[in-house]
Amino acid sequence: MKYLCLIYHEEQARQTMLKEDGDKMRADYFAFTDDIKKSGHYLGGNALQPTASATTVRVRNGRTSTTDGPFAETKEQLAGYYLVEAKDLNDAIHVGARIPGARFGSIEVRPIMEIPGA
Amino acid sequence: MTGDPAEAVREMVDTVYRTDSRRVLATLIRLLGDFDLAEEALHDAFVAALEQWPAGVPAHPRAWLVSAGRFRAIDRLRRESVFDASRAAIVEQLGPVTAPAPDVNEEELEDDRLRLIFTCCHPALPRDAQIALTLREVCGLTTEEIARAYLAGAPAVAQRIVRAKNKIRDSGIPYQVPSRADLPERLDAVLQVIYLVFNEGYSASAGPSAVRADLSSEAIRLGRLLADLLPDPEVLGLLALMLLHDSRRATRTSPEGDLILLDDQDRSRWDQAQIAEGAGLVERSLALRRVGPYALQAAIAAVHAQAARPADTDWNEIVGLYDVLLRVEPTPVVELNRAAAIAMRDGPAAGLDLIDAILARGNLTDYPPAHSARGELLRRLHRGRDAEAAFRAALARVTQEPHRRLLEARIAGLSRSDQF
């Protein structure tokens, strides 16, 4: 099964992080990504720019409205994601638990909907 | 017993249903990969048994039922797959109907029961759903029985179970016993579910008491099953704890439904068989040298249970056990209980100091037992006015009627026997 691991944490904390902590985290992410490429879990993944860069778009009655900022204001913000192939939820949870961000933020593990014929 | 052979077979099928239907279900879920399919197959298998066993009862009824259930499920899916392509895909996965009977040796069957327990208690499911699913699938209670025991509507319980099954399917919760690395966390979830079911039956919170007592027996049955399948120290500890609590069930409340405190209970009516079994399990658990909170609480309950009179209680032993418990589970509630034990060993003033310190930290301000324990120690120190204030603080925070009545009785008792 395919799962999307959504990485949430407090953006503020990351912005005020000491340089060496930031370097350490980047190195941890590189190492983790390498690991799950080797184990065959990795299908894709990216870090996201901070929510200040986000734009929300809606179309209502054929008219487009564009607003500044993320869709929802939450305590922890979406910071990145991995798309993984896992045997089952337990396997996906193991992968999620090893994402460096799991140590101070939260990882939401969501199964990808399989659409027949798609 | 009648001489009618058909009647005799019907009785036998009934007996096998009662003793083995949950095992057969657990295996069918593994073979068919789906809870609902397995339940239909279980039903079909027992219908087939009623039809075919009069001609000869199979040597291994359980294996026969598994094969018959699987056969009928695949057959049913085949017929439905003519109209439904998703069913065809399942049939393909399951292989040909004529394939040899699947592996149903004893060990595999027992593993299936564990798989079922761990799947029902998977932490990705909400707690309410874990409880409902375990009672439904592992214990075989009907949705109506679960609803009655939890004072909920049957449709709400049914909904909870349906959602849980959907989540198991859609999120890919596997049908397996957790790996060694995951076992402590996952076992903890199972033990919590069992203990919650027990306490729901044991606490006098609400509802007709007979129904609630059934929940406690169901939890003890689950505990026994788990202790057979996975004799981990904490599994034995939890079973011991439930048996030791349950041994006092008959003496905990008066016929009028009033609570009776440990000191005032009629110890001659405690269930000695349960106490002996519980104490034996405590010893077995402690001998495994990986002591956990359930085993320690059970050990404490065993010390109480083995004292013939309240005055015979070995408080030194109890304080020692609380010291260890506080290390493995450093919570304010454990601290409070330890303080009460110290009061019994070293006198009320020593216990009162500890309770005042806990309350001063603000941890247990809204926990009624903290105030009532304080009230009790103040009463023993003949500080009647302070004791009354403490009991009133507890009274203001309790929600359950029997607890309210008990506190009112203790306040009323104060004015007679304690100097102000």
Residues of B in contact with A3 (CB under 8 A): 172
For B86, nearest residue in chain A (alpha carbons): A116
Among B50-54, B76-80, B230-234, B238-242, which stretch is predicted with the lowest mean pLDDT? Answer: B76-80
Question: What tens digit of pLDDT does each residue of B211-221 get?
Answer: 676 889 999 99
Q: With beta carbons less than 8 A apart as the criterion, state whether B227 and B236 touch.
A: yes
Residues of B in contact with A1 (CB under 8 A): 172
Give residue ranges of A with CB < 8 Å to any B CB.
Answer: 1, 3, 86-93, 111, 116
Rounded to a whole number of angstroms, the distance from the CA of A6 to the nearest CA of chain B is 15
**pLDDT number for residue B98:** 52
Report the residue of chain A nearest B89, measured CA to CA: A116
CATH code of B329-420, in short, is: 1.25.40.10
Number of helices followed by number of strands (H, E) in chain B: 19, 0
Residue B180 near chain A (CB below 8 Å):
no
pLDDT of residue B103: 56
Chain A within 8 Å of B171 (Cβ-Cβ)?
yes
- End-to-end C-alpha distance for chain A, whole angstroms: 15
Where along chain B do the CATH 1.25.40.10 domains lie? 329-420
Chain B residue whose CA is closest to A109: B171
Q: Does domain A2-111 have CATH number 3.40.140.10?
A: no
* Chain A touched by B85 (CB under 8 Å): yes
Residue in chain B closest to A88 (alpha carbons) equals B172
| Residue B90: both structure tokens together | 């399942």
Average pLDDT, whole number, for chain B? 89
Among partner residues A89, A111, A116, which is closest to B174 by beta-carbon distance? A89
Confidence of residue B30 (pLDDT cuts 50, 70, 90): very high
Average pLDDT over residues B100-119: 77
pLDDT over 80 at B417, yes or no: no
State the nearest Cα–Cα gap between B271 and chain A, in angstroms. Answer: 42
B174 in contact with chain A, both atoms CB, cutoff 8 A: yes
Instruction: Give the pLDDT of residue B256.
Output: 80
pLDDT at B97: 55
Q: Which residue has the higher pLDDT, B247 or B211?
A: B247
- CA-based radius of gyration for chain A: 16
pLDDT reading at B7 higher than 80: yes
Burial class from Cβ neighbours inside 10 Å (0-12, 13-18, 19+) for residue B376 reads buried
The pLDDT, as a whole number, for residue A72 is 83
What sign does the dihedral B41-B47-B48-B54 (CA atoms) show?
Answer: positive
Between B43 and B6, whose confidence is greater?
A: B43
- For residue A111, give the nearest of B85, B170, B178 by CB distance: B170
- The percent of residues in chain B predicted with pLDDT above 70, rounded, is 90
Q: What is the model's pLDDT at position B149? A: 82
Specify the pLDDT at position B309.
94
In this predicted structure, which of B64-68, B107-111, B280-284 has the lowest mean pLDDT? B107-111
Average of per-residue pLDDT across B206-215: 65
CB-defined contacts A:B, below 8 A: 27
- What is the pLDDT confidence band of residue B39, given thresholds at 50, 70 and 90? very high
Distance between the two ends of chain B, CA-based, in angstroms? 71
Task: Give the H/E segment covering residue B352.
Answer: helix B348-360
pLDDT above 70 (res B151): yes
Question: How confident is the model at residue B349, as a pLDDT?
Answer: 96
Please give the residue that has the higher pLDDT: either B19 or B239. B239
Contacts of A12 (CB under 8 A, 6+ apart): none
State how far the alpha carbon of A37 is from the alpha carbons of A40, A82, A85, in Å: 5, 11, 10
Interface test with B, best of A87, A88, A90 (most B CBs within 10 A): A90
- Once rounded to an integer, what is the mean pLDDT over residues B239-245? 97
Q: Within its chain, how far is the Cα of A60 from the centroid?
A: 28
pLDDT band (50, 70, 90) for residue B419: low
- Structure confidence by residue, pLDDT tens digits, A42-93: 999 999 999 999 999 999 999 999 999 888 888 899 999 999 999 999 999 9
Q: Cβ distance B247 to B278 under 8 Å? A: yes
Interface mutation vs chain A, best among B170, B176, B177, B180, most A CBs within 10 Å: B170
- Contact between B219 and B202 under an 8 Å Cβ cutoff? The reply is no
Specify the pLDDT at position B202: 81
Decide: helix, strand or coil at residue A42. strand
Where are the domains positioned within chain A?
2-111
Determine the pLDDT at residue B132: 95
User: Which amino acid belongs to residue B257?
Assistant: G
Mutate which of B121, B125, B171 to disrupt the A interface (most A C-beta within 10 Å)? B171
